Amino acid sequence: MIRLEPRRQHSTLMVYLAPVLAVGLTLLLGIAAFSLMGKDPLAVLHAFFVEPVSTRYGLTELGVKAAPLILIAVGLAVGFRANVWNIGAEGQLTVGAIAGGGIAIYFHQSTNPALLPAMLVAGAGGGMLWAAVPAWLKTRFNANEILTSLMLSYVAVLLLSYLVHGPWRDPAGYNFPESRIFPAAGTMPLLLAESRLHLGLVLALLAAFGCWLLLAKAFLGFQLRVIGLSPRAARYAGFSERRLIWFALMLSGGLAGFAGVSEVAGPIGQLLPTISPGYGFTAIIVAFLGRLHPLGVIPAGLVMALTYLGGEAAQITVGLPAAVTGIFQGVLLFFLLACDALTYYRLRFGRPTLPERHAT
């Protein structure tokens, strides 16, 4: 009989080992599944995880995909720590793209160097605005932020669809549901020639570092951690729950909106009906894989970015549907949650021993 016995103190080793273990177990399961499907598992894994990053361009694409994931996951990690479950980052990303993209479309003849900064600010503002709704509904009406933020994601995607099918459709675009191409002054500067790697990655790393400082050094970060670990203790200490909810949602919404505008001003270059392959949802996994630590989110973002590249590559080279990425991400999170049990519990084999009773 195998049991889980609580540890006196949680295992620091397991906090870091669990993600590694989870990735390993996911790969093992993948090998077994592909063998059963009659495919050479090593060839599939090679196509999925090695081939995409074996060229210079592939490596830069890793950065392109990791940038929005890191940006969003950093904000989510801060919120999750405080038990604020913003799962509508996809919507905040979309509204950020709409707000920033709208400026680029309105000023499409502009060559003003202030255009891009204005777009980035508007993008972050759009994301914050969209996150302000669940924050307000939570603090004012006690409405569950999980459900409201998620419902608003559907609304945001429909809003974008309306805009690119209607008022913002490119007048010279042969009726395709696409906006104008953004002007040069409204696109993200590239970091490397002959790639799509843009400034967004640098800003994502800065955001991660900034949030780490906030959590580790600032009193606000301390309050966020306390409220997550023990809401009651936080109340006794007089921390304002309302303020922390607002802060967590504004931070994660703003970063998601920033990621959205970076995407449309970066690799996409215009507004389309679909601007994200689910970055807002994948970032939830990134946050957990990165141990809800702003710096841990960086390697986690790179791993999840690789699953997107791998999914695209595996579609071409071994003929797997692109959805294999989603399965991989889901299974990885399952294993991670399972391995996390070992952080707080140790495995015990054999029958439980009852504590000795003293006769009274």
32 makes contact with another protein (CB under 8 A)? no
Q: How far is CA 142 from CA 89, 241, 258, in A?
A: 20, 12, 27
Separation of alpha carbons 110 and 147, rounded Å: 40
Nearer to another protein, 107 or 281 (CB): 281
Stretch that binds another protein, among 64-72, 111-119, 263-271, 330-338 (CB under 8 A): 330-338
285 makes contact with another protein (CB under 8 A)? yes
344 makes contact with another protein (CB under 8 A)? yes
Kindly state the helix (H) or strand (E) to which residue 99 belongs, with its residue range. Answer: helix 89-106
Q: How far is CA 108 from CA 101, 128, 303, 347, in A?
A: 10, 25, 36, 62
Binding track, positions 35-64, relative to another protein; x by CB under 8 A: ------------------------------
Separation of alpha carbons 31 and 22, rounded Å: 14
10 makes contact with another protein (CB under 8 A)? no
What is the DSSP-derived secondary structure letter of residue 127?
Answer: H
Separation of alpha carbons 203 and 259, rounded Å: 10
Chosen residue from 35, 55, 111, 144 binding another protein by CB under 8 A: 144
3-state secondary structure of 70: helix
6 makes contact with another protein (CB under 8 A)? yes
For residue 176, what are its two tokens? 């395709």
Separation of alpha carbons 134 and 149, rounded Å: 6
Nearer to another protein, 255 or 292 (CB): 292
Is the separation of the CB atoms in 288 and 69 below 8 Å? Answer: no
Chosen residue from 41, 58, 277, 326 binding another protein by CB under 8 A: 326
Return the half-sphere exposure (C-beta side, CA atoms, 13 A cut-off) of residue 296. Answer: 19
Nearer to another protein, 83 or 240 (CB): 83
Chosen residue from 46, 165, 169, 346 binding another protein by CB under 8 A: 165
Compute the C-alpha angle 200/203/204, nearest 5°: 85
Separation of alpha carbons 279 and 285, rounded Å: 10
Chosen residue from 49, 85, 130, 212 binding another protein by CB under 8 A: 85
For residue 90, what are its two tokens? 């996809």
Separation of alpha carbons 151 and 139, rounded Å: 17
Stretch that binds another protein, among 8-16, 51-59, 213-221, 341-349 (CB under 8 A): 341-349
Whose CA is closest to 67, among 188, 155, 179? 188
321 makes contact with another protein (CB under 8 A)? yes
11 makes contact with another protein (CB under 8 A)? no
347 makes contact with another protein (CB under 8 A)? no
288 makes contact with another protein (CB under 8 A)? yes
Nearer to another protein, 63 or 88 (CB): 88
Can you give the binding site for another protein, defined by CB under 8 A? 4, 6, 85, 87, 137, 141-144, 146-148, 150-152, 154-155, 158-159, 161-162, 165-166, 281-282, 284-285, 288, 320-321, 323-331, 333-334, 337-338, 340-341, 344-345, 352, 354
